[in-house]
Structure 1
Amino acid sequence: MIHARELARTFKTKAGAVEAVRGLSLDVAEGELVAFLGPNGAGKSTSVRMLTTLLPPSSGSGTVGGHDIATNAAAVRRLIGYVGQGTASGPYHRVRDELVIQGRAQRMSEAAARRRADELLAMLELDALADRDCVSLSGGQKRRLDVALGLMHTPPVLFLDEPSTGLDPHSRANLWAHILKLRQATGMTIFLTTHYLDEADTMAERVMVMDNGRLIADDTPARLKAELAGDTIEVSLLCADQTEAAATIADNLPDRRELRRDERTIAVTLKDGEAVLPEFIRRLHDGGIEVISARIRRPTLDDVFLGLTGRSLREGAAA
């Protein structure tokens, strides 16, 4: 449904050329929900703006639904919904009117636009607000209206550029419940950029990680965490004088990636903590080392980014 090869975008500034996106190649299948991650300035929004025909690429090629983003932008726009970072509604328009105007812009008849508007208002729980001015809506209500605007013409592809940024946890969960319900009902393809790693981890079938304008990882969340981060086993010892011997045993575990220690604690990162933990405990016991507690910490997507780049994705997003 979405195909790109060597997409690039360079901006000219007073300080010189800035390569915002460099050689982006990706494929998204019909019906997939793909999360596009990276810190501020990584090139995510620029990539989305190229794929949605809002920004011409400097080089490379791309298609959405089989239509070329550079030479057939009108056909691409008929296929997609786009929810950008800013609020899309006019402040002094009424909620229902905003939706009807969007439908008419998508060449729907007046009657069809009104039917579709009422359907989305009910689906996104905005029907009680239909006659209110958009300026009076809360942040969560405005974002649900933005999603409704992007869905007016029932697009097979929906681009969501940080749709829940700035929302409180309840509004964010509510928005995602509606989006996932719509996806289940329609089978649409969703391309999502987000700073919320839990959204990507729990809802996306695939995660792409971007940094400095380049795509540096592309896989399922589970495989990325297993291959690029790994589980961390932490054991607490009864006696501080056994820490050195325990560290030696941990250092020889299979697929050992990182080893940390303090006075009575050993933390070892490896590929499959659940499978290795019993063997680790057995070796410690055989060595006469007494363990008072043990636990496995599962990796996060932030750990994946840290492993790829040496820095935290959360820190980069906050910056």
Structure 2
Amino acid sequence: MGRENDYEVFAAGDVVLQGGATLRDARLAYKTYGRLNADKSNAIVCPTWYSGRHWDNEWMIGEGMALDPDTYFIIVPNMLGNGLSTSPSNTPPPYDRGRFPNVTFYDNVALQHRLVTERFGIERLALVTGWSMGAGQSYQWAVAYPETVERIVPFCGSSVTSVHNKVFLEGIKAALTADAAWNNGWYATQPTTGLRAMARVYAGWGFSQAFYWNQEYTRLGFSSLEDFLVGFWEGFFLDRDANNLLTMLWTWQNGDVGRTPGFNGDTVHALNSIKAKTLILPGGKDLYFPPEDEKWTAEHIPNAELRVIPSTWGHFAGHGTNPEDVRFIDDAIKELLAR
């Protein structure tokens, strides 16, 4: 399975964003797995997450898994701002770098809907599923296009970004932008001091207290805590572009299905409108999206079930690195697809 150049591009033309700016010659990078069947009923959309690229979702896709390319046609669209789709790092002036406009979850999903309908002629999706911001996009799909989406399985994510989650994001934003090299987004080289600082702040939130207490990072091949902080966390962010990270951070911070056109900011009304069969999988010790937040969400969605991932891996229960969590998520998706 592929990497940087192993994807296709949907050229969307000029796209007017919710904030009023126009993305000119907008490009949505995506990769597909499997084949679309004759009646176009086997399509699944699996959006990317904060800083993730399409290949970062490939742990979910494979023979014998819920997302089996022998059975399903799986579309993995890259979020705006992730460096492959239209982003600060690849947009020409005047909307380049520090001038890149704000993008919402709705903006992302509206573009994905165009890809699904215009490029493939798909009218129904068997499933939309994803981790973290991929979960946010799953909720957004179900609210914005209720007649299209049959099922959603959002895991370790939310339909509306909580106040506490916004505070965490302020912390990592402050760490990144405190680097003088950042220069309000007009840097000549990446602000690596800020990226490393951001990574260290992130490290205390991505995994749970129990993960660190049990020194689970040794299972990932790291020889000490410092080795994990440098090798995993700093390495995680150093190949990302700072403006791209800040663009996706704004999208995350401002996540709210109530912002969907027609709902006037009413999150509960938006959740009430979801018609898809919904299975919500929060991580038991997720510090961003705790189970009690998603319990609130489930209470407002008809046909929703909440099932907590029994994991000490915190938010990263949904990252695909822990085999036990992978099995739990995969089994849950299989069960919903069988309904």
Q: Of Structure 1 and Structure 2, which has the larger fraction of its residues in strand?
A: 1
Larger Cα-atom Rg: 1
TM-score (norm 1): 0.26
TM-score (norm 2): 0.25
